Amino acid sequence: MVSRGQAPVVEPGLPELLEQAVKSRHLQATTSAFEAVVSTDVSFVAVGTPSRSDGSLDVSTVLKVCDQIGAAVATKDKQHVVVIRSTVSPGTTVRCAEILQSYATKASISVAFNPEFIREGTAVTDYNNPPYTIIGTTDPMAERVLREIYASVSAPIIVTEPSVAEMIKLVCNAWHATKVAFSNEIGRLGNTLGFDARQVMDILTRDSKLNISSAYMRPGFAFGGSCLPKDLRALTYFARTENIALPLLSSLIPSNQAQIDSALLDILVTEKRRIGIVGLAFKAGTDDLRESPALELAERLIGKGRELRILDPAVCQAKFVGANRQYIESKLPHLSRLLVARPFDLLKHSELIVVTQHVAGLDLIASASRNIPIIHLCCTGGDSVWSRPQSNNGNREVFNSAVSLNRMDPTA
């Protein structure tokens, strides 16, 4: 069908594009991988990767096609670029590269992963107007070729590691599914409780500062405070009393708790006994300790026999008055003896530093000269103040920080 200029699927705008491309001889169809590869410079792999019964992606066809491409490239004496477009699990591009490189005897092969973000029914429009173009490669040749191919597409180009490019497609679709499920759960609440859920969601989406933005979208530590946990519990309580199923919203508190549990395990596995915690309030810039995940973490570490010192300038400044005092007396009555006012005092005590938030004094800790391991629980990545992350089973960023105690002690 394609060789006759006929679209094999129903997609607005595609029949016209195919007909024009075939007539101008810019597009030719073949069932021979060898023929396709030897007559071109770039191969795009866009085959199906269906779900297996266990939910994993079946990438066997992708690997088979790469084997066919490699066999064809082995007969060529010029550079060939292979671009994986299929949705795959992280690590697949590396596997493809290994297969292809085994054939690279006469010609070199460059490999990249280039995910597509097009929807059925609007595929042509989405291709011409993408939010961005992702190029997952460490190969300069693959990057250069793809930049040339997408030169006419008006969208920013993001070059990253193949594993990140592979994962962004899966994460984007998971986020889209989350938005649909969230909206539908609010809709079910509206149907039963008698409010206009569409109007609620319309107003929600008008907030581009927090609701529809990058806010709260960086992997880090658990949420807390007087609002998020309380309001989530209220919504799910309404649902239970009316027998409304809200599985997504009901999963958020357990998911948040799992983040605290994971942090605790990451700390305990180090087998360090004297631990310094940076940040105690539920977030930086406040002295509010209500439902603070850092406070719960500290409480559980003490229960495990760890000796703590805690640095949080805002909490120290609060002097435990009003609601904070009552909360502390019920949660950590001995907290006052654990708090320290200076980074020096924290470091002098600690075999391990745990950062839950960015507070004043963190730069001093990061720039010192004696090696103390640091577990960074708060937002990781570009805003991290440490430059050399070390692997910690893929969950956290762990850094070696060299701390000069003499330089930090004003009495030394």
pLDDT of residue 381: 39
Taking only the tens place, the pLDDT of each residue in 207-260 is 999 999 999 998 999 999 989 999 999 999 999 999 999 999 999 999 999 999
Between 61 and 25, the higher pLDDT residue: 61
CA distance 68 to 99: 10
Identify which of 286, 271, 269 has the alpha carbon closest to the alpha carbon of residue 356: 286
pLDDT of residue 287: 84
| Whether residue 401 has pLDDT greater than 50 | no
Q: Calculate the CA 193 to chain-centre distance.
A: 35
The CB density around residue 84, as the number of other CB atoms within 10 Å, is 29
Given 66, 96, 227, 316, which residue is catalytic? 227
Identify which of 67, 82, 78, 46 has the alpha carbon closest to the alpha carbon of residue 162: 82
Going by pLDDT thresholds of 50, 70 and 90, the confidence category of residue 390 is: very low
Structure tokens at 106: 């006469």
Going by pLDDT thresholds of 50, 70 and 90, the confidence category of residue 323 is: low
| Whether residue 369 has pLDDT greater than 90 | no
* Counts of helices then strands in the chain (DSSP H, E): 17, 12
CA distance 45 to 365: 48
Q: Tell me the percentage of the chain whose pLDDT exceeds 90.
A: 68
pLDDT of residue 10: 92
Q: What is the mean pLDDT of residues 159-174?
A: 96
Identify which of 327, 234, 338 has the alpha carbon closest to the alpha carbon of residue 288: 327
| Whether residue 388 has pLDDT greater than 60 | no
pLDDT of residue 264: 96
Element (H, E) at 404: none
Q: What is the mean pLDDT of residues 114-132?
A: 93
Q: With contact defined as beta carbons under 8 Å apart, do 182 and 248 qualify?
A: yes
Q: What is the mean pLDDT of residues 313-320?
A: 71
| Whether residue 19 has pLDDT greater than 60 | yes
227 labelled catalytic = yes
How many CA atoms lie less than 13 Å away from 8 in the CB half-sphere?
Answer: 5
pTM of the predicted protein model: 0.84
**Helical pair 197-205 and 162-193, crossing angle rounded to 10 deg:** 140
pLDDT of residue 177: 97
What amino acid is encoded at 282 in this protein? F
Structure tokens at 204: 């929600």
CA distance 266 to 19: 58
Q: What is the DSSP string of 292-314?
A: -HHHHHHHHHHHTT-EEEEE-HH
**What's the chain's average pLDDT?**
87
Element (H, E) at 30: none
